[in-house]
């Protein structure tokens, strides 16, 4: 069409080579470890301690040059968002694999936050060990008593007291909060309840061992404990941290949130594309191995339709996410907010549908721990809520499109 550039999503030679190395690593180390991963966490008394075999895999990933791949060129990395997207897809085929490459949420988002907004002292204390994989972190925003999808509802108080800030409030569904290696939380709360509604919130760094911080309980999802990560409910009772713990400044919480969430949503959505592709790959194997009513499953019309529909939906979500990544690279996250909202609406639901079809085709086995499908479905359902539920993104995107149409 005249006036429209042709989008080219073909990977560079560097990305092709890195993708081949990553796929080889997955084949050699990650897929063979899946059964052992499940067996370990079914029997261990310390589910939120990173097991030795995962630490061994991390060391191997570093030796293989597959570490901190998410880092953009502006912060010492070598891959753009578009370059990184197909690598995130490969990692997403096993829900816990991104951790092995130090590319897992919420740590990547927290590292990006520190890179963008952290002081030199904050980077030295927290960013350096996070990038080295020596510690883990949590992002404490969601609260149990208010609808946190509207972040202006958040009640946690961050009050200045001399050279300190004092924090009081309750957070929950804080991913990574249960981990023994979690050393710090980025906490969002109110510093000025009387300010403009988008200037009330701030973000502050809180060590996990701070006096008054209590991990109340573990919060499971669909009965899964998400070990070794684990979602936590946390209470802050007069938690006191130095004023230097504030990120960027009082009232800058929304600004930080928008800066950190653009690339993170691309990562989430490409991992979901990978999860869906894994489910479809399992289906393509299954339908040639099983027979019903005298025919292979692959010869049944309804099965063929499910396969075709899943392939189409995966490809649509993949291309939309790559388009969003390319626009972020070219124009920044703010200019790409329409596409970022779109992928967050599309990808989680797509993955749920594709994985659900795969479960159905696998019968009872699809619901068991013998296959990764049930855990992948749990993951996809979580991401419909993580970084903003899809209803919020639909509301924002619809408003944005109407305004753009009328030149507002």
Ordered DSSP codes for 158-212: EEEETTEEEEEEEEEEEETTT-TTEEEEEEEEES-TTS-TTTSEEEEEEETT-TT
Whether residue 273 is found in the same domain as residue 378:
yes
The CATH number of whichever domain residue 161 belongs to comes to: 2.40.110.10
- CATH of residue 317's domain is 1.20.140.10
* Same domain membership, residue 379 and residue 328: yes
Among candidates 162, 174, 183, 176, which has minimal Cα distance to 240?
162
In a domain, 103, yes or no: yes
CB of 9 closer than 8 Å to CB of 319: yes
Same-domain check for residues 127 and 145: no
Residue 6 counted as domain residue: no
149 and 116 in a common domain: no
Q: In this structure, are residues 198 and 159 in contact, taking their beta carbons and an 8 Å threshold?
A: no
Asked if residue 1 belongs to a domain, the reply is no
Do both 291 and 371 map to the same domain? yes
Q: Is residue 163 part of a domain?
A: yes
The domain in which residue 209 lies consists of 136-249
User: What's the number of domains the chain is made of?
Assistant: 3
- Does 21 reside within a domain? yes
Q: Give backbone dihedrals phi and psi of 135, rounded to 5 degrees, phi first.
A: -135, 170
Tokens of 329: 């690279």
CA atoms of 52 and 66, how far apart (whole Å)? 19
Model's pTM, two decimal places? 0.95
Q: Does residue 275 sit in the same domain as residue 232?
A: no
Same structural domain for residues 325 and 395?
yes
Residue finishing a domain among 249, 264, 279: 249
Indicate if 400 and 277 belong to the same structural domain. Answer: yes
If phi over 0 gives left and psi between -120 and 50 gives alpha, with beta otherwise, what is residue 172? beta
pLDDT tens for each residue of the chain, 408 residues long: 334 455 788 899 999 999 999 999 999 999 999 999 999 999 999 999 999 999 999 999 999 999 999 998 888 899 999 999 999 999 999 999 999 999 999 999 999 999 999 999 999 999 999 999 999 999 999 999 999 888 889 999 999 999 999 999 999 999 999 999 999 999 999 999 999 999 999 999 999 999 999 999 999 999 999 999 999 999 999 999 999 999 999 999 999 988 777 788 999 999 999 999 999 999 999 999 999 999 999 999 999 999 999 999 999 999 999 999 999 999 998 899 999 999 999 999 999 999 999 999 999 999 999 999 999 999 999 999 998 899 999 999 999 999 999 987
Residues 251/191, Cβ–Cβ less than 8 Å: yes
Residue 213 and residue 192 in one domain: yes
Is the domain of 297 the same as that of 385? Answer: yes
Beta strand segments in 278-372, E: 291-292, 295-296
């Amino acid at each position: 069409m005249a006036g429209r550039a042709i989008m080219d999503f073909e990977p560079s030679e560097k990305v092709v080579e890195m993708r081949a190395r990553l796929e080889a690593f997955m084949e050699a180390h990650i897929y063979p470890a899946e059964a052992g991963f499940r067996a370990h966490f079914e029997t261990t008394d310390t589910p939120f301690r990173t097991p030795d075999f995962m630490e061994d895999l991390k060391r191997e990933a570093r030796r293989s040059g597959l570490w901190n791949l998410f880092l953009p060129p502006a912060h010492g990395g070598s891959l753009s968002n578009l370059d990184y997207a197909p690598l995130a897809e490969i990692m997403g085929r096993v829900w816990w694999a991104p951790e092995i490459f130090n590319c897992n949420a919420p740590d990547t988002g927290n590292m990006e936050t520190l890179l963008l907004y952290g002081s030199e002292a904050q980077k030295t204390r927290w960013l350096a060990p996070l990038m080295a994989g020596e510690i883990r972190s949590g992002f404490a925003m969601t609260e149990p008593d208010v609808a946190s999808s509207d972040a202006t509802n958040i009640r946690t108080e961050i009050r200045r007291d001399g050279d300190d800030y004092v924090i009081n409030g309750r957070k929950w569904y804080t991913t990574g909060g249960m981990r023994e290696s979690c050393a710090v939380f980025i906490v969002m709360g109110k510093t000025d309840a009387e300010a403009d509604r988008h200037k009330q919130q701030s973000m502050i760094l809180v060590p996990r061992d701070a006096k008054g911080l209590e991990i109340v309980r573990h919060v499971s999802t669909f009965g899964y404990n998400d070990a070794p990560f684990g979602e936590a409910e946390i209470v802050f009772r007069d938690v006191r941290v130095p004023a230097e713990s504030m990120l960027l400044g009082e009232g800058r919480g929304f600004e930080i949130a928008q800066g950190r969430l653009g690339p993170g949503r691309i990562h989430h959505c490409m991992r979901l594309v990978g999860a869906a592709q894994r489910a479809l790959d399992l289906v393509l194997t299954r339908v040639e191995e099983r027979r019903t009513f005298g025919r292979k499953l692959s010869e049944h019309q309804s099965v063929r339709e499910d396969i075709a529909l899943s392939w189409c939906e995966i490809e649509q979500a993949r291309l939309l996410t790559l388009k969003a990544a390319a626009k972020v690279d070219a124009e920044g996250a703010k200019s790409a907010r329409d596409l970022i909202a779109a992928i967050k609406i599309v990808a989680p639901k797509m993955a749920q549908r594709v994985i659900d079809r795969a479960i159905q085709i696998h019968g009872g086995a699809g619901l068991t721990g013998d296959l990764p499908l049930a855990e992948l479905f749990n993951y996809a359902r979580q991401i419909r809520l993580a970084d903003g539920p899809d209803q919020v993104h639909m509301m924002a995107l619809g408003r944005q499109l109407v305004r753009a149409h009328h030149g507002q």
